[in-house]
Structure 1
């Protein structure tokens, strides 16, 4: 097949993205929301903090009562009450102090807190050795969040800080784009999960690898290994799995032009398109729908499968739940050595990036079976389809796989 007959990488990226689409919003418990993306704005139903409280362990006072305090002329005040955090609070009478803990409510009549370090720590009478202005070490009600304000906007990725804020506001269910559910399957009678393969068998690595990639993309992976190179058995098993609620079926292997290509033989007549993409590695690809789910069929060679996932599936999965950064960051770096590329095909070469030096080192041979080399790489060098030779020092686009 001439390269002019191949589908471009960008065209296939659009096709996969359109197939997976964006998932409808759903409410999930706050405990399950980390890493997901808000579908609606969050408006504070109350202020934070909800009451004036102490920012320090110390003494609640009236600032005017300690205006003259100094290290050589301390002001002594009787300690009328103790206020631990969470305790009810009364009034502070003029000329007195209340011993107060961090987070405890400020008593009515007090307008400042003197930290314990600026006192002698007295429990009956306290000697205050420094003046403090009104408002010192006081967290005022609404000082962090005002009731009625939008605190998180739709499109925000929920991380630990956002979880903490939502919990503080009493939010227990969050409206988000849910994680897509991905059925990851490897096929082939030669594959096994047995740690000691039999004659002619090989250990399945693709389903483990792609399930990990799905999880890393923020989706939910359901891993299956189906060994039967038999179309009726494959379809019966597949139908049962898809009935559990799956957004994407992701397969590896069985998509090339040879005999016993069970994925192609089973899904090709049922609406899944198999084509060749102008990319190396990862030329044979399949995409379509089956059983109500999007279908993406990747080649079987491990490097081809993982590179294809990075190029086509990962950004589409992240976009499906509204992630604002669906793509890997791309940086520019200079090559540490010359490389060549196949004419007419966009090549994704494994590399090792040195951000401090601004360089990238090609890592291992370009073949699609060198998974050991891929495991030592941290980036992909993106070589355009119309480039065949790159000299040492030339600047290239690099996909940072660590972010």
Structure 2
């Protein structure tokens, strides 16, 4: 587990654009996750640590892409149909014999091309006449043949480092004959919420208490990112125990994440606890919703403090925590940002990036169209399909404008 310097998060006090903040995180922080070797059937969702280099050609030999008849292109008539005697049969999984020149060989999809043959006529395009096959005119040399290495050539990169492995990647690795892969170890994240007002879900609410919405939300996001969150509960507003729990978490985790308790109020003790064991910097992000994000170190372990408001915590988790976790995990950020058409008009203040919760509906021409979701912070977020991002320089949205959109389903 890596350790960071105390000043790695120091920045100028001026508000930062979200993109600049993410660029600083990536420039200043190392990848903290180690490398391990695991069986391929356990690698789904893990981050590939090194480029996967193909140990063999894929496919490993020239083969037929269709069921049909393999021939030598030089045996085809220059005009009109070609009549050739049948000279063998090659099912998939069987080594072919050399038919010699002047023969057509019955072949099936995936079967190796017989020696000397280079072209395959589809079975539906030919006619059988006794022991001969009549091939159509105009058969292009090389048709329906898959060459060895056509998919991936031996020695080439098959999957780049930093890829979050999914079923499609495991299929490629297995086709290359690999039974073990080398991914990054999952990032271990200590997760806390802070505040005397919080009660865990399922527990009775005391007077003036509220249920903690942030830990379940942030734990789910962390798991989607391939991290391993450890739910360490609620940090109460007691400076001594709070500091002890943070220091204990630093010893066994790669990242400490809290929500709430990092403002300048006299009952917000997280700031003092972090500074007593390391350093803390407030990054003033030009973002809405969201307030300053706290970044620092506790005993050399990176620390991130998000706002206590669940909607603000969600947005800052998307904008800052997500790229931070992916970077520390050695993962490339491959989440798509789609474009949708605006179905609403709205003014916006320049200088900050805003995230609006929206639903998608089909416009009159069938094009996806985003419309704002009414309601409270959490009910509106829950009812939305995703978020549209309004760039810092934008001052007004008009009906029909193209807007960047992120689906909630693609945030992991």
Smaller-chain TM-score range?
Answer: 0.7 to 0.9
Partner of 2:4: none
Is residue 212 from structure 1 mapped to residue 220 from structure 2 by the alignment? yes
Partner of 1:221: 229
Q: For 1:348, which of 332, 346, 354 is the aligned residue?
A: 354
| Corresponding residue for residue 26 of structure 1 | 35
Q: Does the CA contact (< 8 Å) of 1:182 and 1:250 recur in 2?
A: yes
Q: Contact 2:87–2:104 at 8 Å: present in 1 too?
A: yes
TM-score, normalised relative to structure 2: 0.72
Q: Deviations over 1:235-284 (max 9, x none)?
A: 4544554444x221110122234454353343232224264736554335
Query: Are 1:188 and 2:188 matched, yes or no?
Result: no
Which residue of structure 1 aligns with residue 120 of structure 2? Answer: 113
Greater Cα shift, 98-107 or 164-173? 164-173
Q: Is the 8 A contact 1:286 1:296 kept in 2?
A: yes
Of 49-58 and 266-275, the range deviating more from structure 2: 266-275
In 2, Cα distance between the equivalents of 1:88 and 1:238? 64
Structure 1 stretch displaced more, 320-329 or 140-149: 320-329
User: Which of 316, 321, 333 is matched with 1:308 structurally?
Assistant: 316
Is the 1:381–1:399 contact (alpha carbons within 8 Å) kept by the matching residues of 2? yes
Corresponding position of 1:295:
303
Deviation readout 1:139-180 (Å, 9 max, x if unpaired):
233344443444555566656555443333334455566553
- TM-aligned CA distance change 1:261 to 1:396, over 3 Å: farther
Displacement of 1:314 in angstroms is 2.0
Aligned pairs for 1:68-87 within 5 A: 75=83, 77-78=85-86, 80=88, 82-87=89-94
In the superposition, the TM-score normalised over structure 1's length comes to: 0.73
- Give the Å deviation of 1:203: 2.4
SS of corresponding position for 1:26: coil
Tell me, in whole angstroms, the C-alpha distance in 2 between the residues paired with 1:113 and 1:166: 28
Shift of 1:205: 1.1
Larger deviation: 95-104 or 201-210?
Answer: 95-104
Instruction: Encode CA deviations 1:176-207: one digit per residue, 9 max, x unaligned.
Output: 66553322222334433443633334322101
Counterpart for residue 109 of structure 2: 102
Q: Give runs of aligned pairs for residues 391-402 of structure 1, distance below 5 A.
A: 393=398, 400-402=405-407
Distance 1:88 1:373, change over 3 A: same
What residue in structure 1 maps to residue 66 of structure 2? 56
**Residue 280 of structure 2 contacts residue 297 of structure 2 at CA under 8 Å; is this kept in 1?**
no
Measure, in 1, the Cα distance between the counterparts of 2:76 and 2:241: 85
Gaps of 5+ in 2: 1-11
**Corresponding residue of 1:199:** 206
CA distance in 1, matches of 2:110, 2:267: 69
Q: Is the 8 A contact 1:314 1:326 kept in 2?
A: no
* Structure 1 runs not aligned, ≥5 long: none
